[in-house]
Amino acid sequence: MKVIDNKALLLRLRDPRKVTEVIPKSKELSGNRVVVNWGVDEAHVLKNLNINAPSPIEGKYKWTGKYKPFEHQKTTAGFLTLNKRAFCFNEQGTGKTASAIWAADFLMKQGRIKRALVICPLSIMDSAWREDLFSFAMHRKVDIAHGSAKKRTAVIESDAEFVVINYDGVAIVADAIANGGFDLVIVDEATHYKNAQTDRWKTLNRLLSPDTWLWMMTGTPAAQSPLDAYGLAKLVNPKAVPRFFGSFRDQVMYKVTNFKWVPKPDATETVFGALQPAIRFTKEECLDLPDIVYTTREVPLTRQQEKYYKELKNRMVMEAAEETVTAATAAVNMNKLLQISSGAVYTDDKEVVEFDIKHRYKVLREVIDESSKKVLVFVPFKHTIQLLTDKLRKDKIPTEVISGAVSATERTRIFKEFQETDTPRVLVIQPQAAAHGVTLTAANTIVWWGPTSSVETYAQANARIHRAGQDHKCTVVQLQGSHIEKRVYALLDNKIDTHTKIIDLYKEILD
């Protein structure tokens, strides 16, 4: 039951039978009050009347699961229940997955939806979504649509109320999804749908009917460019952007040269307007988390590394003198410089040259020994991962690896053991393989063996330890031994992706 001080509500209710009483005007009241059975419809009516009405989830819902929600999670869940198409831009580590689960569960109990399809990165289907659904909605049936088309189809045609699938898996079983009765689609790390020209985007767009609920979640909307907002807005709020991408580009960007565009001064406001309706909480606003400290440790290159680094740099200087350097060439060459600094480089013949990593490894061991909890080590290059893991295990340090070669089932096992048992003490991780969604608060220290090129990957990876459940001060350690590593870390700390400055950075390295 709810008492509303607005007579207009009586006239706008879809079902007059929900009105149980009209309280006459009195000295204390400026007008009649309407007493109604409070539901989603009534909240929408008030919203249309520009009245700030709470979602009925805040009064009618028993918050299920192992943990009590934070206030910002209740607010986020309420926002989602009142918006059929919406963005959740809550910062990583604030528990937006749980908010979406509670909101979906409430809508199911209200009979508003029957099934939910969760689209997310392959790496977190089990370790984040299945685990969180078990934690916050254990009474619901959940399944993972992964493997062959036949296996995925069987899951989609099952009676699972929540089906979790990876981005590229959607196209494999698009027909089955279209007939699967999904009336809610939740897209995690929604920036994977920023480009409306991709097959991935077009497939999702075809699957959405006017009646489909769609919640798109990311902590970093339009992180690289204002143009990233276009594909997202076209799915959630298509009327907020022009029909064609070129028109939107003209709204938010200036053309400097044939190949260079820069954001207009009001681009942020334009993007903000396009990405609505939306909700956002930062960690500082909603969680009493311990501090996170960023620190740098100098690790000199070995004599062997210095030799190859200098030889490659000299070759780059000669190439630059003979022809115009393209962004692609610059990226390849600088990537090799980073590989040399990290410990292993792939030659033009696809051979691997390994280097002595004793200096960098010594510093890493110091950090591990100093840490009061477990440690995550992010290593950008595959062969270096193996090189480092072998050394850690040889020194009897319990170590597990998370990379693209590790199956989703195995990742889930490793993450669970890391969080809940004494071993492993160290996780060596390829950044792209575990930068999103996973909670790893058993660690309070992150070591970057070498820098990544993506600001989003860097920020998301650091958020694995600095999130709800962390009870210790967190430390992020950057290991650097070459000039290019220092410059890439500087770009990351200033929230600039390397690829946006690739030519300028290349010239600086040559100088």
> Residues 6 or more apart from 454 whose CB is under 8 A from it?
431, 497, 498
Domain segments of the chain: what residues?
2-53, 67-286, 292-510
Please tell me what DSSP assigns to residue 25.
P
d(CA 480, CA 465): 22
- Mean pLDDT (the chain, rounded): 86
d(CA 78, CA 99): 9
The per-residue pLDDT for 11 is: 39
292-510, superfamily in CATH?
Answer: P-loop containing nucleotide triphosphate hydrolases (3.40.50.300)
Examine domains 67-286 and 292-510 and report if their fold is the same.
yes
**Global confidence as pTM:** 0.65
Name 118's bridge partners: 164, 186
The per-residue pLDDT for 352 is: 84
**Given 3-state DSSP classes, what are the helix, strand and coil percentages for the chain, each rounded to the nearest 5?**
45, 20, 35
The residue ranking higher by pLDDT, 52 or 416, is 416
- Give the angle subtended at the CA of 320 by the CAs of 318 and 321, to the nearest 5°: 65
Q: Answer whether residue 236 shows pLDDT above 90.
A: yes
Dump pLDDT digits (tens) for 272-324: 999 999 999 887 787 666 678 788 888 889 888 999 999 999 888 887 777 77
Q: Look at phi and psi of residue 16 and say left if phi exceeds 0, alpha if psi is from -120 to 50, else beta.
A: alpha
Where are any strands of DSSP class E within 177-228? 184-188, 213-217
Q: Answer whether residue 41 shows pLDDT above 50.
A: yes
The per-residue pLDDT for 206 is: 97
The per-residue pLDDT for 28 is: 44
Express as a percent the part of the chain with pLDDT over 70: 90
Paired sense of beta strands 142-145 and 116-120, if any: unpaired
Q: Answer whether residue 380 shows pLDDT above 90.
A: yes
CATH class, 67-286 region:
alpha beta
The residue ranking higher by pLDDT, 17 or 311, is 311
Assign 4 to helix, strand or coil: strand
Dump pLDDT digits (tens) for 168-214: 999 999 999 999 999 999 999 898 899 999 999 999 999 999 999 99
Neighbours of 263 (CB within 10 A): 16
How far out from the chain centre does Cα 106 lie? 24
Please tell me what DSSP assigns to residue 214.
E
The per-residue pLDDT for 401 is: 96
